[in-house]
């Protein structure tokens, strides 16, 4: 029997099918990367800075948000509801070990965009029962090197099952690049979150433009 689910929050939709994540890896110029991504025409992006101390993260997030504001884009902060609230970000993206979405909603208010990561069908069903989020992430779809201890690869078939179970906007994540983006969207994802194919590209601006074009054409 399918689990009981709270009514979805239908107001949110991804502005396009590419969801870039700017990752503050050691030695990376995050602001230059942000400029490259925004310059490609992105309207919605996430800042991920898992190893950045709080004071430095606040400073970085403010600088990234200023760039996003000038470009007319919305910024989502990874994990840190407190930082999202402090800098006035559009919202937060939470993991399984972070603040529950309902608690983040209480902190950020009804207009904030709240995303939540799930890594299998059971987690997805539990998230839908608990509520509080605007969209769900599902993955990793493919093998990824951007997480220290990645969850098991789910694949496109599991993504299609997740799509059938999920009434909320669904973003796929994990190892997605230009060669797999169309298949991910064809399997039911509303958007594809991309880290490595942008952050590790020789030309992040060109890589983002190419991914946006592929997303629009899928």
Q: Enumerate the active-site residues.
A: 48, 117, 147
Residue 57: exposed, middle, or buried by beta-carbon count in 10 A (0-12, 13-18, 19+)? buried
The backbone region for 79, taken as left when phi is positive above 0, alpha when psi lies in -120 to 50, beta otherwise, is left
Place of tokens 């902190």: 107
- Helical spans, DSSP H, in the chain: 30-39, 54-71, 81-87, 101-108, 121-130, 155-165, 181-186, 196-199, 204-217
């Amino acid at each position: 029997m399918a689990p009981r689910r709270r009514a979805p929050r239908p107001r949110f939709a991804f502005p396009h099918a590419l969801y870039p994540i700017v990752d503050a890896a050691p030695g990376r110029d995050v602001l230059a990367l942000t400029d490259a991504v925004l310059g490609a025409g992105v309207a919605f992006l996430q800042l991920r800075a898992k190893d950045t101390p709080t004071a430095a993260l606040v400073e970085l997030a403010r600088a990234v948000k200023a760039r996003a504001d000038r470009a007319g884009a919305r910024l989502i902060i990874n994990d840190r509801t407190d930082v999202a609230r402090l800098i006035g970000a559009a919202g937060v993206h939470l993991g399984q070990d972070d603040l529950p979405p309902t608690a983040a909603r209480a902190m950020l208010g009804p207009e904030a965009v709240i995303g939540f990561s799930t890594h299998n069908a059971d987690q997805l069903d539990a998230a839908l029962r608990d509520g509080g989020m605007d969209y769900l992430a599902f993955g990793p779809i493919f093998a990824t090197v951007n997480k220290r201890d990645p969850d098991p690869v789910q694949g496109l078939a599991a993504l299609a099952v997740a799509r059938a179970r999920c009434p909320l906007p669904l973003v796929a994540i994990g190892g997605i690049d230009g060669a797999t983006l169309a298949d991910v969207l064809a399997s039911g994802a509303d958007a594809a979150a991309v880290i490595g194919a942008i952050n590790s590209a020789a030309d992040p601006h060109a890589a983002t433009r190419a991914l946006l074009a592929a997303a629009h054409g899928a």
